[in-house]
Structure 1
């Protein structure tokens, strides 16, 4: 592995910009006279069924597998029409798929590399549907590691030359303290202004968050004014094994006490197995319970309104980021773990 010098910087900048200039405009899908898709959905589990009609009672006509990208032409049959993140059906080029175990990757794209980062690192988001990370060791050279997914968040520490001789970002895993690398064009560096606090002038005691486990809804208040009302996915009761932490979201009054823009959740193993229980880069975490229960963004399902988690409150990445910025304690730029006695949380 080679450290980038000034001469390398100029050379690799040209290579990276060249790859952007020659990027296909069709995302690999054949061009036709039919209307273009309104979006792209990535399959997030081993396999989902494709149906003849937009109902689970319809004939199954096929299947789509993990990480397959599905062009979406229409959204139908929203379960909760009043909520933007409601589960729905997607009309595909052939048949229909439920959105529950997919992730929309409409904002995907390649990005211009950045060549300087502060010593404490800077948060970046994966900007393509998925990318394979690699780890480098003197003994084995470049070895594949985690698959990283769209909108997951990671600490970028530096930029180096990757296995393809192009610029790759060096990421640091906060759980395992392990460095690994992804192509720089596959990540979007989060700018400081994206993380400025929302309504910091509102007094601490005026902000509160209420989570209703029965309705699977979250409401954020400033005094009596609702500033966010949305569907969430909380913990599934009874999933825990003896001696493990309960998987049902705890009820009661709590306070947000720790914020982390990126968290590796799961078993904490080094693996390239996409089916292992490893979730590096879970974004925009606001922890409110001693067992590690948090509000956080989710890139492995879109089944909001139903219990789905191991105890945490699953939210869309966009809404989890909003809550991360809005709630106390205020998270400072470049801080990996912001602690403080923060916004009150009621779970009922």
Structure 2
């Protein structure tokens, strides 16, 4: 929703691109960014993208107002992991400037988009077996609670969220005929079980290289820290422009994303990211982070983000947060291309990244 993909951009000249954006097509993305291309006029046209169908609250509390503004009348305060139907996407006040997008929760009121993850509720056919090396699968429901032992529903493990990606290592059934996938946790080296219909098995085409005719020297990525955007270029023409959230400063330290020139030579389709001290301030524990492209030996990476939807301002521990959809695109487009059966891939080459 905050991304412009190559099929939309490729047919447009630079002049047409800017004109098109001013007509509202890029309304959820553009303002107030891209002033290096040209000073864009403020967009006040109606949003023309189709509305989000469902949203999940991602913060401990989410405020709902009678109009799209934090100065409006407060109607409700909801808590984390409630799922609502969303029937309208619109602009709000000038603040917060980095993200003026609001969602209208059907029958309730307006909530700021930064605290709501767009989700779907899609159940999937289950498989009866997986290869010895496992198989990648993506969560396609707002969330699913996993069990350490599928025979004991009291032994809860992690709650896995929409768009996260996991390695399925085995398939089993319980006494009631329900199918459970045994997932491998790459951080803590344990297994836990998820309902099979809540995950979609990925296919080789889900990780196949995009734009295969574009040579390695024709691919490059820029991250603009000031504007909080990422641009992927094919032969100096933008192929993807998307908002991002880079590293920020927190009470426990300065995690600003480093400037410089890097390459995407290490990749993982799924990674459990967690801080060393989970009891520390600003700690994190995030299983199934999807589509990870590392650019430094210290762990700075591009990756999909499901714990916020507030792109356009720094808020990570150094990484470059993208929507899961944008991260998936970048994972497939950047080099090296990762074989379908590999959970980690390291090479001597990659796509150049300039953080400026």
When normalised by structure 1's length, the TM-score is 0.80
Alignment partner of 1:117 is 2:130: yes
On the 8 A contact 1:176/1:268 being kept in 2, the answer is no
Deviations 1:172-206 (A, max 9, x none): 01112111000001111111111110123322122
Matching residue within 316, 337, 341 for 1:334? 341
Residue aligned with 2:155, SS = strand
Alignment partner of 1:134 is 2:134: no
Match of 2:258 in 1: 250
Aligned CA distance change for structure 1 residues 164 and 145 (closer, same or farther; 3 Å): farther
On the 8 A contact 1:207/1:344 being kept in 2, the answer is yes
Shift of 1:94: 1.9
On the 8 A contact 2:147/2:153 being kept in 1, the answer is no
Shift of 1:161: 2.1
Shift of 1:223: 2.0
Match of 2:172 in 1: 160
Deviations 1:138-164 (A, max 9, x none): 9x8861011000010000111012475
Match of 2:310 in 1: 303
Match of 1:230 in 2: 242
On the 8 A contact 2:247/2:316 being kept in 1, the answer is yes
On the 8 A contact 1:175/1:268 being kept in 2, the answer is no
Aligned CA distance change for structure 1 residues 302 and 329 (closer, same or farther; 3 Å): same
When normalised by structure 2's length, the TM-score is 0.78
Deviations 1:66-97 (A, max 9, x none): 000122121110789xxxx9651111212210
Q: What is the distance in 2 between the residues matched to 1:325 and 1:162?
A: 36
Match of 1:13 in 2: none
Alignment partner of 1:209 is 2:221: yes
Equivalent residues in 2 for 1:160-199, closer than 5 Å: 160-162=172-174, 165-199=177-211
Q: What is the distance in 2 between the residues matched to 1:58 and 1:163?
A: 52
Shift of 1:307: 1.3
On the 8 A contact 1:162/1:181 being kept in 2, the answer is no
Deviations 1:308-334 (A, max 9, x none): 211111111111011000101111111
Q: Quote the RMSD (CA, aligned, Å).
A: 2.5
Q: What is the distance in 1 between the residues matched to 2:153 and 2:91?
A: 50
On the 8 A contact 1:158/1:170 being kept in 2, the answer is yes
On the 8 A contact 1:260/1:338 being kept in 2, the answer is yes
Q: What is the distance in 2 between the residues matched to 1:163 and 1:142?
A: 16
Deviations 1:230-258 (A, max 9, x none): 111111124544xxxx5111111111121
Q: What is the distance in 2 between the residues matched to 1:225 and 1:137?
A: 50
Aligned CA distance change for structure 1 residues 239 and 165 (closer, same or farther; 3 Å): farther
Alignment partner of 1:293 is 2:307: no
Equivalent residues in 2 for 1:86-125, closer than 5 Å: 88-92=101-105, 93-105=107-119, 107-125=120-138
What is the total number of aligned residue pairs between the two structures? Answer: 299
On the 8 A contact 1:232/1:304 being kept in 2, the answer is yes
Matching residue within 64, 70, 77 for 2:84? 70
Aligned CA distance change for structure 1 residues 113 and 87 (closer, same or farther; 3 Å): farther
